[in-house]
Amino acid sequence: MMKILDPSKFAQLPDAILFDTDNTLYAYDPAHAVAQKAVRDKVIKTFSISGDDFDSAFKEARAQVKLRLKETASSHSRLLYLQRMLEIMGLGSQVLLALDFEQTYWRTFLGNAVLFSDVKELLDDIRLLGIPTAIVTDLTAQIQFRKVVYFGLDQYFDYIVTSEEAGFDKPHEAPFQIALEKMNPKGNCIWMVGDNSINDISGARQSINAVTLQKVHAGVQVGSGPHMPDAIFEDFFQLRKLLDKLSQD
């Protein structure tokens, strides 16, 4: 199902397309749940603690890191969460264990992350149309680069901008502006494809006046009011059909 909420925004092919990564190109929650459980189980076994002890320490560690670092790439750092968790547990920084637990998380995460259908086919269509593309994503560059390579998408996108490079998470204007500077599109019709109604949809509209398309699936709330997208879609095949139609007009 694709629903175009503002047809006036879709009278022509875009001059460039920006994509969010997490929970847009693949479902984030299932991969995260399995990865978090793997870390939880490993910590419980290593220190012979209860699940409640882990949950409490990790929750507090994450909250402290986010409060201190606010809307920056490092505020999402699994390594910092785990380091602080170990400190809260009275074990000191334990850098070797923190690194080991982080690797357990990401190895499990990537092993359980699955691209949505038709993502690569859509990107092939876009390349054949000569439309430049960029990823605009939160989190640190290293892990986001790893995800792109793991999914085999490194040859599909022209550019990537992480919040580590930009200095700010979305919806701050910096990541969007940097993407446009890199892409240097020929016109002003820029599409933003993302799942988050505030960070992706509202952020891109306010920062670069983007045409916004929200990817919806289980757990995603369609934006409303100032966060309402110009179109919503469930399957990337629907985007392929839209681009094909616009290319024929």
Catalytic residues: 20, 22
Residue 178, SS3?
helix
Beta-bridged to residue 137, according to DSSP, are: 162
Placement of tokens 């190109």 in the chain: 25
Query: What are the two backbone dihedrals, phi and then psi, of residue 34, each rounded to the nearest 5 degrees?
Result: -70, -40
Contact, 211 vs 228, CB < 8 A? no
First to last CA, the chain: 22
45 C-beta neighbours (distance < 10 Å), count: 9
State how far the Cα of 27 lies from the Cα of 218, in Å rounded to an integer.
9
Query: H helices of the chain, where?
Result: 28-47, 51-69, 78-88, 95-112, 119-128, 141-150, 163-166, 173-183, 203-208, 236-248
Cα angle for residues 46, 49, 55 (degrees, 5° grid):
105
Q: Concatenated DSSP letters for 185-236?
A: -SSS-EEEEES-IIIIIIHHHHHH--EEEEE--TTPPPP-GGG--SEEES-H
Cα angle for residues 29, 172, 223 (degrees, 5° grid):
50
